[in-house]
Amino acid sequence: MAEVVILPDAAAAGELAADIIGDLVQARPDAVLGVATGSTPLPVYQALAARRLDLSRLRAFALDEYVGLALDHPQSYHSVIAREVTGPLGLDPARVHVPGEGPIEHAGDVYEHALTEAGGVDLQLLGLGTDGHIGFNEPGSSLASLTRVKTLTEQTRRDNARFFDSVDDVPIHCITQGLGTILRARRLLLLAFGERKAEAVAAAVEGPVTANHPGSAIQLHPRVTVLVDEAAAARLEHADYYRYVHANKPYWQPR
């Protein structure tokens, strides 16, 4: 069962996630952090930046990137990661990787190779799409999938239109780590906030494991922590039990 922590707001979740990442970096300064883009992880990056930790040896791998957008477009995930992660956290740009470089037909294999060479991801941050995607693995994605080009759903393009002038400017294609890639990370930290995510959170945590809901793949992973606010937790059947488990967490369990 995933560990589910229900927090008062996104800022509190950001602080807890920063605690967890801080512990990881203290134990292993050159750890490999899997980073996500979008609005959800921003409080994590803000909390982490405020701690002024030495993260110069940390290595980072992004989950995904749009295809068909110049890498220096302000909304490319290369640009977003540079602006919101690499700079504010003081990471070494040479240690930060985003998929989609070079010929696109080989970019998935190249990225898988780089992940393997790095020894795999220690901690993967994940957001959750309103349609249930993690990374850009849209409904129907194979549970064993690896990094590859995918087609975004209309729902995801509408959700992400807020970052562009119009929905028509949101790319149709993306390259994303697969569900199989994500499941290889040694720990998953999924965050979701707001009532628009409530249904997807319930399906990911408590629904059947199904390619129809890619977020449910987290149930196949032995070490998952889910940080949600009250609104995103609203559809969880066992919310009271998760609160009770968290309140009675044995002292020997790491956070």
The residues of the shown chain that bind ligand F6R, judged by CB under 6 A, are: 36-40, 63-64, 127-129, 133-136
Please state the closest distance from residue 42 (CB atom) to ligand F6R, in A: 8
Catalytic residue among 78, 97, 133, 213: 133
Three-class secondary structure assignment of 176-190? ECCHHHHHCCCCEEE
17-19-22 Cα angle (round to 5): 110
**Shortest distance in whole angstroms from residue 251 CB to ligand F6R:** 32
Phi and psi at residue 182, to the nearest 5°: -60, -40
Report how far apart the first and last C-alpha atoms of the chain are (Å, whole number): 16
Question: Which is closer to ligand F6R, CB of 130 or CB of 219?
Answer: 130
* 30 catalytic residue (yes or no): no
* 109 belongs to the catalytic site: no
Whether 138 is catalytic: yes
Give the residue with the Cβ less far from ligand F6R, 128 or 201.
128
**Which of these is catalytic: 131, 159, 213, 229?**
131
Question: Residue 5 or residue 232: which is nearer to ligand F6R going by CB?
Answer: 232
Q: Which residue, judged by CB position, is nearest to ligand F6R in the bound state?
A: 127
Closest by Cα among 177, 194, 192 to 227: 192
CA-to-CA distance for 96 and 86, rounded, in angstroms? 7
At residue 71's C-alpha, the angle toward residues 70 and 74, to 5°, is 85
Is 37 or 141 the residue whose CB approaches ligand F6R more closely?
37
> What single-letter amino acid sits at 30?
D
Q: Which residues are the active-site residues? A: 64, 131, 133, 138
